Structure 1
Amino acid sequence: MCGDCIKQRCPDRGSICLDTGAYLLNFQGCSECKVREPLVVRDRHEETEEDGEETVTYQHVCPNCMHVIAEHSYTFSVEDDFQEYQMFCMLCGRGADTVSVLPDDPRRQQPLF
């Protein structure tokens, strides 16, 4: 992974969790060949564990010289009544989100009295 190719390392992306694509606003340009072209994905792997947890990993690579800019990791799991999403990438940042699988999210219900 190359910290010279990006503007900010692991920016906080809040609840944004990407399993594809790249955060190009954070891409400064390839430090090896000095080109700023849209990145390509290399070595994409998808794994599903027995408990249902899904993990997607891949590398953001310069299309000109094949320099590895960053490694991207995305995880999805279901725990109790919630879907859990997590992302970590030096280019795209870090993010996490939790979504209820129920029609009405119990965390957002307001007391009647």
Structure 2
Amino acid sequence: MCGGCVQEEYPDRGSTCLETGSFLLNYVSCVQCNKRDFVLIVNKTAEEEDGEEIITYDHMCKNCHHVIAKHEYTFSVVDDYQEYTMLCMLCGRAEDSVSVLPDDPRQMAPLF
């Protein structure tokens, strides 16, 4: 992983969790070839472990094949919620939780 290729390491992305893709606004240029071109997604794997789906891949410079960052995305269902996380030097860090119920109990207003 390369901190020289990104504007900010592990930026806070709030609840934006990317299963695939790249956060190109955070990409400065490749520190090895000094070019700002497409970022390839390589070595993508998907595993399931204890009910948790884990997707990992590498962001790689199209020109010199320098590995810019390693991306990890997880998905799981905990109780009545779908839980998402993302951790990547390029794309950032994020968490999200979505209710599987029609009405999210966390969003309901108290009756009194």
Separation in 2, partners of 1:5, 1:103: 42
Separation in 2, partners of 1:26, 1:12: 11
Letter aligned with residue 21 of structure 1: G
2:6 corresponds to: 6
Separation in 1, partners of 2:92, 2:20: 13
RMSD: 0.7
Q: Does 1:62 align with 2:61?
A: yes
Letter aligned with residue 62 of structure 2: P
Separation in 2, partners of 1:93, 1:3: 12
State the TM-score, normalized to the length of structure 2: 0.98
1:48 CA drift (Å): 1.1
1:53 CA drift (Å): 0.8
Secondary structure at the counterpart of residue 4 of structure 2? helix
State the TM-score, normalized to the length of structure 1: 0.97
1:24 corresponds to: 24
Q: Note the alpha carbon deviations across 1:26-76, whole angstroms, 9 max, x for none.
A: 000001001101100110000012x32100000000010000000000000
Q: Does 1:96 align with 2:104?
A: no
Of stretches 93-102 and 103-112 in structure 1, the one that deviates more from structure 2 is: 103-112
Letter aligned with residue 17 of structure 2: C
2:77 corresponds to: 78
Separation in 2, partners of 1:83, 1:19: 14
Secondary structure at the counterpart of residue 4 of structure 1? helix
Separation in 2, partners of 1:38, 1:16: 21
Q: What stretches of structure 1 of length at least 5 have no aligned partner?
A: none
1:47 corresponds to: 47
% identity of equivalent residues? 59
Q: What stretches of structure 2 of length at least 5 have no aligned partner?
A: none
